[in-house]
Amino acid sequence: MIIDAHTHIGPFAGHNGKSVNDLYKSMDDAGIDISLIIANNFGCEIKGYTTAQLVEIAKKHSRLKVIGNIDYARISKGQIDELKNFIERKLIVGVKCYVGYENYYPISKNLHTFYKYC
């Protein structure tokens, strides 16, 4: 089984981006069985689909799995609860934490509840 572990669909970085059909075509051309689509709508100038939006898309496409993302700079109990819900219901397969272009410090105290859950 071949898995593409990093892809995006829909609007991303100011571009229209790939549609699901575009992604499936590129997957088929490359022999990829599953693609992990990464939510990215928080914490930086690069905007795309939220975790919730991708979950709804992936429900209709068995070859797509979702990597969730939240606004770590302004993390809230609601965001953590939403991720927990998605994880517990097996609607996402991972969570993206990347300080390279998101404005937060990974050692911030406000992330401890999130880390504890993980």
Please write the tens of the pLDDT for every residue from 31-83: 999 999 998 766 555 567 889 999 999 999 999 999 998 888 778 888 889 99
Q: Give the pTM.
A: 0.86
- pLDDT digits 0-9 by tens, 3-36: 999 988 887 655 667 889 999 999 999 999 999 9
Long-range contacts of 10-13 (CB under 8 A, 24+ apart): 10/48, 10/49, 10/53, 10/57, 11/47, 11/48, 11/49, 12/40, 12/46, 12/47, 12/48, 13/46, 13/47, 13/48
Give domain 3-117's CATH superfamily. Answer: Metal-dependent hydrolases (3.20.20.140)
